[in-house]
């Protein structure tokens, strides 16, 4: 019998519900988890709430068309997504080694989806159901919507819309876009002919368009690094729903048309999305495998916001969720928290109330609502904008309301917080309540680096800002009698980072007794400003040249940051010698590593250790003989094998 808390995944489920033909079938690279932290769950539930029937085919076998055909052909369209993470990032480490686990698959098993899953699934659908309409979306499609540098192929690839042969691409957070698309399809308008915000499509000419901006073509950005950087800058400047233009990029004899982003959901709309009829669990078919590990991170966490005006250059959020922050109402967040407290395995702890950046809950200024976010200016970099409205009032109200619920013992904040935004708040209330109630011993913060040159290219505040924050955090924790630590996330080998910068960061961690476990070697993921720097050696925001560490130096920078790991010692020593810093190789407390021994030196020390060990054994035997003699009683030796006690006096 079907579990009716979930969407249909089989013909039996459809029969159980009396459905002969589904309106939409969602094909996904992730296992089916019906929770609002998973994109497939949100889109399917939103469409369902508008009266459409939706089925889901999670992680289909891609070696034949059997699995992808199991729900038949949908009335309106197939929806295709690689999952919550780009399939190539999901499969490979930054060193391009295959990952052994997949947290979005049953039991954490790897290999449950193909590389470039969006393209593979679309090809399967075309084989099984020629002529069916296909709409692609999710992170993989969204961040590959233009011609883009692909780290794994080490070349520029076409827009994924061309390679997948889909009819339409929905980018960003797609609730509104998909609702509009569903209405258009239902009225008979083909997906390939739609003209809805948040969509990309292909045309043979641009005569039908009104105002638009053409960016360098696929052929140009493939052959000219400067043209690639120019295209990236134009794309970057057109990510706001209020001010963005329609962008056009030629691919051969056809044109990719990218409409402006869809308007972000307002508070009421966000509440409606997060209060839909989710099962808040993985599908029962995964129970024999131990479930889906990814839900463990979110089961007792609450997402309260979207968007981020932090704009780190290595982060893709600007291109997916946008800079204009929106958040749910306090009542909606409290309602979700109450639901959690009724779960049988709830222990009293809510792990997070956060989002892309936990302490953002409103747009950075009211001007954004009517004129859009500023072009060529950032809200927090290089300093906090004078027009920014800094307030933690709404977020504090959420935290206070949730931690006041009867069954809640503690509410933690485990999403990252922007400490520069916190310091800009004239009220000290958030810092006080953060230290008093919301730190689980360790507070995660992301300074990323300490070199101001690197931080500038990352779009992060100067290192002194982080030092100011940690000083205030530790002083406040101490005042409250709490032993709490700020745990920094650090990044190695970001474009602009030299070996000298990496050494400075290593010495900083040593000085402050930081043993960084969470180190991210810069990963050139699709469609970020930093990835453009990595590929072109140009900063697209000012068109200046950027030094890019690659090859062995990239490995050296990572090794320096984790100099305590014996596996890194050879690379650390090589880096220090290259820098002329042999003074940091030795046995003094200031040194990073001990010298590596040559083979003959190792043999000498090994022989010395054997000699010392034998000497210790000899000393031990002499001591045993002495004690044995001392144990002899008056005129009578202690019988062998007896206890240490003797009759008569003890000597």
Give residue-wise pLDDT tens across range 314-359.
Answer: 999 989 999 999 999 999 999 999 999 999 999 999 999 999 999 9
pLDDT per residue as tens digits for the range 34-93: 999 999 999 999 999 999 999 999 999 999 999 999 999 999 999 999 999 999 999 999
Question: Could you give the 3-state DSSP secondary structure of residue 124?
Answer: helix
pLDDT value at residue 366: 87
The answer to which of 234-243, 452-461, 509-518, 570-579 has the lowest mean pLDDT is 509-518
Find the mean pLDDT for residues 539-563.
Answer: 95
Give the whole-angstrom CA distance, residue 32 versus residue 24.
16
The answer on pLDDT for 632 being more than 50 is: no
pLDDT value at residue 18: 95
Longest pairwise C-alpha distance within the chain: 120
pLDDT value at residue 519: 80
Question: Could you give the 3-state DSSP secondary structure of residue 538?
Answer: strand
CATH of span 441-594: 3.30.750.200
The answer on pLDDT for 630 being more than 50 is: no
Give the whole-angstrom CA distance, residue 428 versus residue 422.
9
Task: Please report which confidence band the pLDDT of residue 1 belongs to, taking 50, 70 and 90 as the band edges.
Answer: very low
Give the whole-angstrom CA distance, residue 615 versus residue 171.
73
- Is there a cis peptide before residue 97, judged by omega within 30 degrees of 0? no
Find the mean pLDDT for residues 469-496.
Answer: 95
pLDDT value at residue 646: 35
pLDDT value at residue 634: 40
Share of the chain above pLDDT 70, in %: 91
pLDDT value at residue 614: 61
**What would be the CATH architecture of the domain defined by 11-196?**
3-Layer(aba) Sandwich (3.40)
The answer on pLDDT for 98 being more than 70 is: yes
pLDDT value at residue 416: 86
Identical fold for domains 11-196 and 441-594, yes or no, is no
CATH of span 300-423: 3.30.750.210
Give the whole-angstrom CA distance, residue 425 versus residue 389.
9
pLDDT value at residue 637: 39
Task: Please report which confidence band the pLDDT of residue 609 belongs to, taking 50, 70 and 90 as the band edges.
Answer: low
The answer on pLDDT for 626 being more than 50 is: no
Where residue 5 falls (left for φ over 0; alpha for ψ -120 to 50; beta otherwise) is alpha
Q: Where are the domains of the chain?
A: 11-196, 300-423, 441-594, 595-625
pLDDT per residue as tens digits for the range 173-193: 999 999 999 999 999 999 999
Looking at per-residue pLDDT, the higher value among 520 and 144 belongs to 144
The answer on pLDDT for 644 being more than 50 is: no
How is 180-247 classified by DSSP, letter by letter? HHHHHHHTT--GGG---TTEEEEES-STT-SSEEEE--HHHHHH-HHHHHHHHHHHHTT--TTTPPEE
């Amino acid at each position: 019998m079907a579990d009716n808390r979930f969407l249909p995944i089989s013909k039996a489920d459809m029969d159980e519900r009396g459905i002969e033909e589904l309106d939409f079938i969602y094909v996904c690279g992730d296992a089916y988890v019906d929770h609002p932290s998973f994109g497939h769950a949100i889109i399917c539930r939103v469409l369902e709430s508008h009266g459409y029937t939706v089925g889901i085919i999670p992680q289909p076998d891609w070696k034949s068309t059997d699995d992808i055909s199991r729900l038949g052909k949908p009335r309106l369209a197939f929806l295709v997504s690689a999952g919550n993470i780009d399939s190539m990032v999901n499969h490979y480490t930054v060193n391009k080694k295959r990952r052994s686990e997949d947290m979005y698959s049953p039991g954490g098993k790897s290999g449950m989806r193909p590389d470039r899953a969006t393209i593979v699934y679309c090809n399967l659908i075309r084989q099984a159901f020629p002529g069916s309409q296909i709409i692609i979306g999710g992170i993989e499609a969204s961040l590959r919507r233009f011609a883009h540098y692909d780290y794994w192929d080490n070349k520029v690839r076409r827009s994924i819309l061309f390679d997948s042969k889909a009819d339409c691409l929905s980018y960003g957070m797609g609730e509104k876009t998909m609702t509009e698309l569903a209405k258009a399809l239902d009225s008979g308008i083909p997906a390939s002919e739609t003209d809805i915000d948040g969509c990309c499509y292909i045309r043979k000419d641009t005569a039908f368009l009104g105002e638009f901006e053409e960016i360098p073509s696929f052929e140009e950005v493939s052959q000219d690094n400067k043209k690639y950087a120019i295209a990236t800058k134009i794309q970057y400047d057109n990510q706001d729903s209020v001010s963005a233009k329609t962008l056009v990029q030629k691919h051969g004899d056809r044109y990719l048309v990218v409409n402006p982003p869809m308007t972000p959901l307002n508070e009421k709309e966000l509440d409606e999305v997060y209060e839909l009829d989710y099962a808040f669990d993985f599908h029962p078919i995964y129970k024999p495998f131990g479930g889906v590990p990814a839900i463990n991170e979110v089961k007792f966490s609450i997402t309260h916001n979207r968007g981020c005006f932090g704009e780190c250059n290595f982060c893709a959020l600007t291109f997916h969720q946008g800079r204009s922050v929106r958040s749910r109402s306090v009542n909606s967040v409290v309602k979700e928290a109450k639901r959690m407290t009724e779960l049988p395995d709830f222990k009293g702890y809510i792990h997070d109330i956060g989002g892309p950046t936990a302490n953002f809950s409103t747009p950075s200024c009211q001007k954004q609502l009517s004129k859009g976010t500023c072009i060529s200016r950032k809200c927090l970099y290089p300093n906090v904008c004078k027009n920014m409205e800094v307030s933690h009032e709404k977020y504090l109200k959420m935290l206070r309301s949730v931690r006041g619920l009867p069954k809640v013992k503690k509410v933690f904040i485990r999403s990252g917080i922007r400490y520069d935004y916190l310091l800009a708040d004239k009220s000290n209330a958030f810092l006080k309540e953060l230290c008093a109630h919301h730190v689980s011993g360790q507070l995660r913060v992301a300074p990323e680096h300490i070199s101001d040159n690197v931080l500038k290219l990352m779009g992060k505040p100067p290192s002194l800002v982080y030092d100011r924050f940690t000083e205030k955090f530790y002083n406040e924790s101490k005042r409250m009698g709490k032993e709490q630590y700020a745990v920094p996330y650090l990044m190695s080998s970001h474009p602009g980072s030299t070996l000298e910068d990496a050494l400075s960061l290593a010495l900083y961690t040593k000085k402050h007794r930081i043993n960084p476990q969470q180190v991210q070697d810069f990963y050139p993921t699709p469609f970020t400003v930093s990835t453009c720097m990595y590929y072109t050696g140009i900063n697209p925001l000012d068109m200046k040249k950027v030094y890019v560490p690659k090859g062995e130096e990239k490995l050296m920078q990572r090794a320096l940051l984790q100099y305590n790991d014996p596996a890194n010692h050879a690379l650390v020593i090589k880096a220090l010698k290259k820098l002329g810093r042999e003074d940091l190789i030795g046995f003094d407390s200031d040194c990073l590593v001990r010298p590596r021994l040559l083979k003959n030196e190792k043999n000498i020390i090994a022989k010395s250790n054997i000699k010392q060990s034998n000497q210790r054994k000899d000393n031990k035997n002499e001591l045993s003989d002495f004690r044995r003699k001392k144990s002899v009683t008056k005129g009578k030796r202690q019988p062998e094998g007896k206890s240490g006690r003797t009759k008569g006096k003890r000597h």
